[in-house]
């Protein structure tokens, strides 16, 4: 019999997550019934969305939400023979049984491309960048695009897709190492928001004429400053608000009405599942860009399932460069 280890939400997070908020449990999985498949997680994902989603969609005692690349180890379902790889949303667990629904088979995968990228650039974060840019920002060649959390799983792809689309790209990140990485992957301008004397001056220096598009991953005070530097009819994709995910008291502002009115800005929040009907088409494009070298991928890999809470907390502190992955 197979025993599955799982990280569960012992207590809802209050402020920044603590190790004691999570509990490692182990259970024996039942024998397979006809149509069932036993999966072993190979790579697991930690992502910023897990922090707010855990409060909205989870109750205490549930397995932490999340996705994985998993391999079939036993099967009574002809669609999923042993050795098949899938992307699943079965949470922080080493093994799980599925009836085969709500799984995504990995397409034919180039040998030189890590399968973990199906959780990153060729997965949900990449799709978030792709649809946020093309459907919300509606980028055009010659646009100036600003992206925050630019060295993260989403932001780094946003910048590279915008370059493919003929845009000037400005990124901000929280360390000099990350700024150097952004320039390495083709960002035109990048700065460390923690060390600049003035965010307003840093933004003006990077693009004196302002910004056509803003891909917002952080929210908070930074975004209120950006709004005043948008060009007329600028477009803003609100993807995340990591600056406020751990707040116990809501932040004040930003007060958006004045710049929204007088600059006639377009701002829209989005969740990437809106475009699930176009997922496969977009994933093929992202995979092709990776294979062609047009998008470079960086992963922050933590080895060991037991280290998932530490990896999650490190992500929320901004310790990762690129996509945060756990290798089981």
User: Could you read off the pLDDT of 119-155 as tens digits, one per residue?
Assistant: 999 999 999 999 999 999 999 999 999 999 999 999 9
- On whether the CB atoms of residues 239 and 132 are closer than 8 A, the answer is yes
Query: Is 80 exceeded by the pLDDT of residue 95?
Result: yes
| Residue range 37-44: mean pLDDT, rounded | 98
Q: CA 156 from chain center: how many Å?
A: 10
pLDDT tens-digit readout, 184-204: 999 999 999 999 999 999 999
Other Cβ atoms closer than 10 A to 24: 14
**How far apart are the C-alpha atoms of 249 and 129, rounded to whole Å?**
29
**How far apart are the C-alpha atoms of 163 and 278, rounded to whole Å?**
22
* pLDDT grade for 160, boundaries at 50, 70 and 90: very high
Tokens encoding 36: 């069932």
pLDDT at site 31: 96
**How far apart are the C-alpha atoms of 188 and 185, rounded to whole Å?**
9
* pLDDT grade for 3, boundaries at 50, 70 and 90: very high
- On whether the CB atoms of residues 191 and 172 are closer than 8 A, the answer is yes
In this structure, is the dihedral angle defined by the CA atoms of residues 96, 100, 101 and 107, taken in order, positive or negative? positive
- On whether the CB atoms of residues 118 and 87 are closer than 8 A, the answer is yes
| Residue range 86-99: mean pLDDT, rounded | 98
- On whether the CB atoms of residues 62 and 90 are closer than 8 A, the answer is no
**How far apart are the C-alpha atoms of 30 and 28, rounded to whole Å?**
7
pLDDT at site 107: 85
pLDDT tens-digit readout, 301-312: 999 999 999 999
How large is the angle between the packed helices 155-164 and 124-131, nearest 10 degrees? 50
pLDDT at site 190: 98
**How far apart are the C-alpha atoms of 8 and 58, rounded to whole Å?**
10
Query: Is 90 exceeded by the pLDDT of residue 258?
Result: no
pLDDT tens-digit readout, 268-311: 999 999 999 999 999 999 999 999 999 999 999 999 999 999 99
Query: Is 90 exceeded by the pLDDT of residue 220?
Result: no
* CATH number for the domain formed by residue range(s) 124-273: 3.40.50.720
**How far apart are the C-alpha atoms of 35 and 311, rounded to whole Å?**
34
| Residue range 70-90: mean pLDDT, rounded | 97
Q: Compute CA distances 282 → 56, 69, 185, 233, whole Å.
A: 28, 19, 21, 27
* pLDDT grade for 250, boundaries at 50, 70 and 90: confident
**How far apart are the C-alpha atoms of 257 and 23, rounded to whole Å?**
44
Query: Is 70 exceeded by the pLDDT of residue 118?
Result: yes
Would you list the domain boundaries of the chain?
3-120+298-327, 124-273
Query: Is 80 exceeded by the pLDDT of residue 253?
Result: no
pLDDT at site 254: 64
Q: Compute CA distances 69 → 12, 65, 90, 192, whole Å.
A: 26, 14, 10, 33
Residue among 193, 146, 145, 196 at smallest CA distance from 173: 193
- On whether the CB atoms of residues 322 and 182 are closer than 8 A, the answer is no
Give the global pTM: 0.95
197: CB partners within 8 A, 6+ apart: none
- On whether the CB atoms of residues 29 and 1 are closer than 8 A, the answer is yes
Tell which CATH architecture fits domain 3-120+298-327. Alpha-Beta Complex (3.90)
Other Cβ atoms closer than 10 A to 327: 16
């Amino acid at each position: 019999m197979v025993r599955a280890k799982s990280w569960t939400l012992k207590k809802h997070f209050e402020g920044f997550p603590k190790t004691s908020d999570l509990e490692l449990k182990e259970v024996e999985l039942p024998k397979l019934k006809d149509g069932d498949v036993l999966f072993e997680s190979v790579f697991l994902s930690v992502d910023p969305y897990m922090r707010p989603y855990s409060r909205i969609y989870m109750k205490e005692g549930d397995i932490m939400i999340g996705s994985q690349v998993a391999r079939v180890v036993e099967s009574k379902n002809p669609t999923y023979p042993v050795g098949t790889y899938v992307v699943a949303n079965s949470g922080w667990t080493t093994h799980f049984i599925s009836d085969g629904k709500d799984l995504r088979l990995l397409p034919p995968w180039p040998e030189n491309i890590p399968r973990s990228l199906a959780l990153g650039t060729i997965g949900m974060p990449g799709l978030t960048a792709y649809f946020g840019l093309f459907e919300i920002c509606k980028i055009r060649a010659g646009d100036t695009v600003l992206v925050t959390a630019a060295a993260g799983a989403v932001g780094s792809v946003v910048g590279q897709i915008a370059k493919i689309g003929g845009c000037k790209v400005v990124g901000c990140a929280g360390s000099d190492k990350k700024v150097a990485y952004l320039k390495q992957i083709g960002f035109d301008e990048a700065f460390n928001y923690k060390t600049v004397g003035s965010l307003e001056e840093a933004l003006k220096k990077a693009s004196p004429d302002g910004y056509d598009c803003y891909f917002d991953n952080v929210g908070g005070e930074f975004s209120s400053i950006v709004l005043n530097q948008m060009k007329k009819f600028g477009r803003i994709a609100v993807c995340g608000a990591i600056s406020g995910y751990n707040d116990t008291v809501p932040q004040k502002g930003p007060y958006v009405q004045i710049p929204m009115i007088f600059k006639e800005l377009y701002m829209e929040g989005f969740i990437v599942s809106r475009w699930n009907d176009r997922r496969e088409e977009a994933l093929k494009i992202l995979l092709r860009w990776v294979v062609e070298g047009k998008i470079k991928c960086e992963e922050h890999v933590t080895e060991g399932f037991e280290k998932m809470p530490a990896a999650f907390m490190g992500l929320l502190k901004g310790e990762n460069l690129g996509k945060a992955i756990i290798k089981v």
